C-alpha cells in the first residue's frame, strides 16, 4: 500500500496513494490506522483524493478508523472523496456516521474546533 503521512501535534494526515480501496488495500489501511492510534494519535484525517474506487472492505476500513478514533475521544475525518465513493457511502448509509469534508483544510479546522470544544467542556466540569 502506498501512502504519505504528515504528523502534527493534534492530528495525523494520511494520504492514500492508491487508485483503489479494496480487499487488497483495506487490511493494510486498517493496520496503519490502528498503529497510528496506538501511538497516541486520536485525530486522523484520511485524504482519498487519489482513490477512484472502493468496495465494501474499503468502507470497512473507514469504519475501523471511525471506531478507534471515537474510542480514543478523537475524530476521524475522510476528505476529498470522489463522487463514486460518496455515492457508495450514501447507499451504505455511512454518511450519517462518518465525518466527511471537501478539503484537507476543512478537516483540519474541524479537528481544531472539536479540540477547543473538548477543552471548554473539561473546564466547565
In tens, the pLDDT along 71-97 reads 999 999 999 999 999 999 999 999 999
- The answer for 93, left when phi > 0, alpha when psi is -120 to 50, beta otherwise, is left
pLDDT tens readout for residues 57-76? 999 999 999 999 999 999 99
**Which class does domain 3-124 fall in?**
alpha beta
Amino acid at each position: 500500500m502506498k501512502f504519505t503521512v504528515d504528523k502534527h501535534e493534534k492530528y495525523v494526515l494520511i494520504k492514500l496513494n492508491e487508485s483503489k480501496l479494496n480487499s487488497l488495500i483495506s487490511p493494510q489501511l486498517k493496520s496503519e490506522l490502528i498503529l497510528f492510534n496506538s501511538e497516541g494519535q486520536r485525530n486522523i484525517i484520511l485524504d482519498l483524493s487519489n482513490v477512484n474506487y472502493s468496495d465494501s472492505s474499503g468502507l470497512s476500513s473507514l469504519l475501523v478508523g471511525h471506531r478507534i478514533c471515537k474510542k480514543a475521544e478523537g475524530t476521524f475525518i475522510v476528505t476529498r472523496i470522489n463522487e463514486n465513493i460518496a455515492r457508495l457511502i450514501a447507499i451504505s448509509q455511512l454518511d450519517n456516521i462518518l465525518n466527511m469534508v471537501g478539503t484537507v483544510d476543512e478537516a483540519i479546522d474541524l479537528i481544531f474546533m472539536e479540540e477547543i470544544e473538548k477543552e471548554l467542556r473539561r473546564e466547565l466540569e
